[in-house]
Structure 1
Amino acid sequence: MLPTTSGEHPAVTSVAGTRARSSRYPWIVFALTFGLMLSDFMSRQVLSAVFPFLKTEWTLTDSQLASLSSVVALMVGLLALPLSLLADRWGRVKSLTLMAVLWSVATLLCALATSYEQLLGARFLVGVGEAAYTSVGIAVVLSVFAPRLHDTLSGALFAGGSFGSVIGVAFGGAIAVHLSWRWSFAAMAIFGLILVALYRALVTERKLAIRATTDDVAAGTVAKPEGYRAPLSSLFTNPAVLCAYIGGGLHLFTAGVLLSWLPSFFNRYYGFAPAKAGLTASIFVLLVGSGMVICGIITDRVSRTDTSHKWTAAIAFCVTSLVFLTVGFRVGTGNTQMVLIGIGAFFSGGASGASGAMVANLTHSSVRASAMGALAVAYNLLGMALGPFVVGVLADRLGLLGALQLSPLVYLGAIAALVAGKRLYPAGVRKFDALMTGQASPKVLRPTS
C-alpha cells in the first residue's frame, strides 16, 4: 500500500472520513440506551404507585407488598454478573434486546395477573430481564464514545434510573386513578416494547464494532488481535478496580435510602399526606438523578489532563453529601432542613459516573459488560438494596429519623475505598497496560509522543 502524502497511517486516513460520517451514531446509541434505562426503572417502580390499589383489592399485607418490590432487586443482585458475562460472549445488542423484551412482556403479565402469586411470578421475571441491562447498556455506550466523555455518560445512564423511577411513579399513579392499576403496568410495557423495536432496528453489533475500531485507530491506541478476549480474572485481580467496585457500591447506600424512605420521612415528620409526601420526595429523587449527570460532567472536566482526578472528584462528592446529610437530618424540620437534605441528595450519587469510568479505564473492552456487571452487583448488594433494608431494620429500633441520621456514615467506608483506589491507581494502570501490550497488534501502534 502506498504511503499517504501526509505521513499518516493509511488506516487513520480512512478512519477520518468514517468518523465524519458516523459522528451522530454514538448519540443515537446513547439516546436509545438511555430510553430503555427509563423503561427499565419505570417498569420496576410503577409498582409503588399502585400499592394502595393492590392492598385494597387483594387484601395484601405490607410484607407481601414489599416482596413484590424486593424480588426485582434480588434478581438484579444475583444475576447481574453472570448475565453480563453471557452478554460479552453471545453479543451485547442481542442480549439487550432480549432483556428489554423480557421485562416489558413480564410487566404486561403484571397487568394480567389475577392473584398475588401470579403477580410475584411476573415481578420475578421483571427482575431477570432487568438484571444485566445497566451493565451491558453502559458497556455498549462507552464502546462508541471517547474516554473523555465516559464519566458524563456513565453518570447520565445511572441517572436514568432515578428519572425513570419518578416517571414510573408519577404516570403510573395518574393512570391508576383515571383507568386502573392494570393499565399502569400495561402502559409501561407498551412503552418498553416500542423502544426495543427502535433499538433493534437502529443498533447492530456490526455498527458498534466499526465505530469502536474507528476510535481505536484514530486515537492510535494499542489494539488486540481480532477475536482476543481478556481473561475474566482481570476483572478482580487489579486492586484499583476492586476499590472502584467497593467505593462505588458503598457510596450508593445512602442514595438508595433517600429513594426509598424520603416519602415516609415527609409523611411522618412533616405531617404531609401520602400524595404530597410522594410528590415532595420525587423532587429529591430528581436532585439525585440530576447530580449524577452534572457530577459526571464535572469529573470529565477536571480529569482531562490527569485521569487520577476522577478518584479525587468521587471522594469530594462523597464528603460533600456526608456533611450536608449528616447536618440536615439533625436540624429541626423546616426549610433549612430541606435545603441541606436537597444539597446532600444532589451529591449522593455523584460518584456513579466516576466509578463507572474508572472500572472502564482499567478493564479490557472484550469484558467491559462483565466489568460493569460486577459493578452493578456492588451497586445493588452494597448500596441500593442494602441501604433501604438496613435503615428499615434500624428504624424499628431507633425510629426512622434516628436511622436516617446514621445512614450517611456509610460514606466513610466509601471514602476509604476510594482513597485506597487513588493510591493504587498508578500501579493499576501499569498492570492494565501490561495486559494490553502483551498481545498487541503490529498493525496499530501506540503514539510515541
Structure 2
Amino acid sequence: MAGGREEGIASARSARASDDRYAWLVLGLLCIVYVLNFLDRQLLSILAKPIQDDLGITDGQLGRLGGLYFAMFYCILGVPVAWLADRGNRVRVLTIACALWSAATIACGMSHSYGQLAAARMSVGIGEAGGVPPSYSIISDYFPSDRRGLALGLFNLGPPLGQALGVAFGAKIAAAYDWRLAFILLGAAGLIAAAGVWAFVREPRRGATDTRPVAMPEVAGEAASFGGTLRLFFDRKTLLLVSLAAGATQFVTYATLGFTTLFLMREKDMTLDQVAIWYALVLAIGVSAGIYLSGRIIDRRAATDPQIYGTMPGIALLLAIPFFIGFVWAPTWPLAIVFLIGPTFLNYFYLTPAVTYVQNAVAPRQRTLAGAVLLLIMNLIGLGLGPTWLGMASDWFKASHPGHSLQLAFYTLVPFYFVAIALHFASARALRREHSETAP
C-alpha cells in the first residue's frame, strides 16, 4: 500500500512538472507572436526614412500613420474582441488575429501611395486588436499569482525584442533590397506563427491557477461585460490611476519609438546599416532589462509593499529625464546612442507593474476584458497621441528650424515625463490607502 501511495505521489509530481513545462512552452509561443505583433507595428517607424523618400510624406503624416490611424482601430476594436475572447476560445481569437495582422503587413509592403499605406496600417490595427488581451488572460491561467509577474514580464519582452529585431533585420533588408520586401517577409513569418499557435496551444481553464479570491470578491461572480469592467476601472481609483499613469508613460515611449530611427538618420547622420547594429542593441538590451527587472521586483515586493506598482516606475522616469535630454542634445550619433541607453532602460519600468496589477485585481472571467480596457486607456493616450503629437510638432518647427525640427519636437516630450511621474506617484498613494483599508 505504501508503494502504491509513493507511486501516486511520484505520478502527481511528474504531471505537475509536465504541466509546468507546457506552461513555459505556451509562454514562449505567445512571446514569439507578441514579438511579431510589435515588430509589424513598429516597422513603419524603423523604415521611416526610405518610406518618406519613396512616397514623399511629411513627419505629420508619418505620425498619424503610426499613431492616430493605427490606434483608432487597434484600441476601439480591442474591446469587442476581448469581450468575445472572455466568452469563447481565446486561442482561436489570437490565431485569427495574428493571421489578419500578418496579411495586412504584407499589404503594407505592396502599397504605392500614402492612401494605400494608410488603409493597410488601419488593417494591421484591426488584426492586432486581438493579440495582447487574450494572451494576458491565457498566461494568467497558466501561471499562479506568485509567478505571474515573472511570466507577464517575460511576455512583455515582446515589444523590445520585436523593435530590436525589426531594426536589425528590417533595416538590413531595406538597405540591401527594398523597404517593401521587409514588410512582406515579416508578414509571412506572422502567418507561420499563427499556424503554430493553432497547432500547439491548448485553451486553459479560466482561473485554473488562482489559489485565493481576487481583492474585490463582489465582482467575481459578475458576468464579464465591457460596461461592468469599465465601471470597475472608474469605481476603483487604483485601477484608473495605474492605467492613466501607464498611458502618460506610453505617450513618451511611443512618440520616441516612432521617430528615433528617423531622428538618428536625419539629424545625427546615422546610416541604415549603423542603425541596424547600434540602435538594435540598445533596444534589445535596454528595454528587455527594464521590463524583466521590473517584473522580478514586482514578484518580490508587491505582497508586502503594494505601492511599488506606482513608486518604482515613477522613480525610474525621474531618473530617465537627464539621459533623455542628453540624447536629444548630443551633437553626434555615438554620443546620442550612449545617452539613449538610460531612457531605453528606465522608461519601461511601468509596463509589467501595470499589467500584473490589473490581472491580479480582477476576477478570472474579467481578465481579458480588463486587459483590453487597460490597453484601451494606455494606447489611446500613448499610441494614438504620442507619435501624432511629435510629428505635428516637427512639422510646426520645420518652418523656422528646417534642419533641427525633430530635435525641437523631442524636447517637447520633457513636460510629459513630469505628467507621467505625477500620475505614478498618485497611483502609489491610492494603492497604499487601498491596502490599509483592506488589510485585516
Normalising by the smaller structure, the TM-score range is 0.7 to 0.9
Equivalent runs, 1:107-256 vs 2, <5 Å: 107-112=105-110, 117-176=115-174, 180-205=178-203, 208-209=204-205, 212-213=207-208, 215-216=209-210, 219=211, 221=213, 229-230=223-224, 231-232=228-229, 233-256=231-254
- Counterpart-to-counterpart distance in 2, 1:16 and 1:228: 35
| Cα displacement string for residues 406-427 of structure 1 (whole angstroms, at most 9, x for unaligned residues) | 3133222222222222222255
- Is the aligned partner of 1:46 residue 2:43? yes
> Which residue number corresponds to residue 311 of structure 2?
312
The DSSP-based 3-state class of the residue aligned with 1:61 is: coil
Q: Which amino acid aligns with 1:106?
A: A
Query: Contact between 1:362 and 1:432, CA under 8 Å: does it hold in 2?
Result: no
TM-score relative to the length of structure 1:
0.80
The DSSP-based 3-state class of the residue aligned with 1:24 is: helix
> Which residue number corresponds to residue 18 of structure 2?
21
Shift of 1:274: 5.1
Shift of 1:68: 4.7
Shift of 1:252: 2.0
> Which residue number corresponds to residue 436 of structure 1?
none
Q: Which amino acid aligns with 1:146?
A: P
> Which residue number corresponds to residue 406 of structure 1?
412
Equivalent runs, 1:336-375 vs 2, <5 Å: 338-375=337-374
- Counterpart-to-counterpart distance in 2, 1:383 and 1:25: 34
- Is the aligned partner of 1:95 residue 2:93? yes
Equivalent runs, 1:2-17 vs 2, <5 Å: none
Query: Contact between 2:306 and 2:435, CA under 8 Å: does it hold in 1?
Result: no
Change (3 A) 1:416 1:176: closer
Q: Which amino acid aligns with 1:380?
A: N
- Counterpart-to-counterpart distance in 2, 1:160 and 1:44: 12
Change (3 A) 1:393 1:237: same
- Counterpart-to-counterpart distance in 2, 1:220 and 1:341: 42
Q: Which amino acid aligns with 2:393?
A: L
Change (3 A) 1:323 1:54: closer
Query: Contact between 2:63 and 2:389, CA under 8 Å: does it hold in 1?
Result: no
Of residues 357-366 and 333-342 in structure 1, the stretch that sits farther from structure 2 once superposed is: 333-342
Change (3 A) 1:80 1:292: same
> Which residue number corresponds to residue 27 of structure 2?
30
Query: Contact between 2:153 and 2:295, CA under 8 Å: does it hold in 1?
Result: yes
Q: Which amino acid aligns with 1:37?
A: Y
| Cα displacement string for residues 263-296 of structure 1 (whole angstroms, at most 9, x for unaligned residues) | 2333344333455356543333332343222332
Change (3 A) 1:49 1:424: closer
- Counterpart-to-counterpart distance in 2, 1:197 and 1:160: 19
- Counterpart-to-counterpart distance in 1, 2:259 and 2:47: 17
Change (3 A) 1:101 1:227: farther
- Counterpart-to-counterpart distance in 1, 2:146 and 2:313: 16
Query: Contact between 2:108 and 2:120, CA under 8 Å: does it hold in 1?
Result: yes
- Is the aligned partner of 1:61 residue 2:60? no
Shift of 1:100: 0.8
- Counterpart-to-counterpart distance in 2, 1:416 and 1:375: 19
| Cα displacement string for residues 179-200 of structure 1 (whole angstroms, at most 9, x for unaligned residues) | 5555433322221122111211
- Counterpart-to-counterpart distance in 1, 2:91 and 2:234: 25
| Cα displacement string for residues 85-122 of structure 1 (whole angstroms, at most 9, x for unaligned residues) | 23212332121111111112223344555665444433
Shift of 1:31: 0.6
Change (3 A) 1:235 1:136: farther
- Counterpart-to-counterpart distance in 1, 2:232 and 2:117: 40
Change (3 A) 1:358 1:261: same
Change (3 A) 1:156 1:322: farther
Consecutive unaligned residues of structure 1, counting only runs of 5 or more, are 6-11, 434-447
| Cα displacement string for residues 343-387 of structure 1 (whole angstroms, at most 9, x for unaligned residues) | 122111111111111112222221111111122122222223322
> Which residue number corresponds to residue 424 of structure 1?
430
The DSSP-based 3-state class of the residue aligned with 1:209 is: coil
Identity of aligned residues (%): 26
Consecutive unaligned residues of structure 2, counting only runs of 5 or more, are none
- Counterpart-to-counterpart distance in 2, 1:408 and 1:285: 20
The DSSP-based 3-state class of the residue aligned with 2:235 is: coil
- Counterpart-to-counterpart distance in 2, 1:17 and 1:411: 49
Shift of 1:401: 2.5
Query: Contact between 2:278 and 2:337, CA under 8 Å: does it hold in 1?
Result: no
Query: Contact between 1:245 and 1:375, CA under 8 Å: does it hold in 2?
Result: yes
The DSSP-based 3-state class of the residue aligned with 1:307 is: coil
- Counterpart-to-counterpart distance in 2, 1:278 and 1:76: 27
Q: Which amino acid aligns with 2:408?
A: G
Q: Which amino acid aligns with 2:35?
A: L
Q: Say what the alpha-carbon RMSD is for the aligned residues.
A: 3.6
TM-score relative to the length of structure 2:
0.81
The DSSP-based 3-state class of the residue aligned with 1:321 is: helix
Query: Contact between 2:63 and 2:388, CA under 8 Å: does it hold in 1?
Result: no
| Cα displacement string for residues 225-260 of structure 1 (whole angstroms, at most 9, x for unaligned residues) | 998635423233211000110011111222223212
Change (3 A) 1:69 1:225: closer
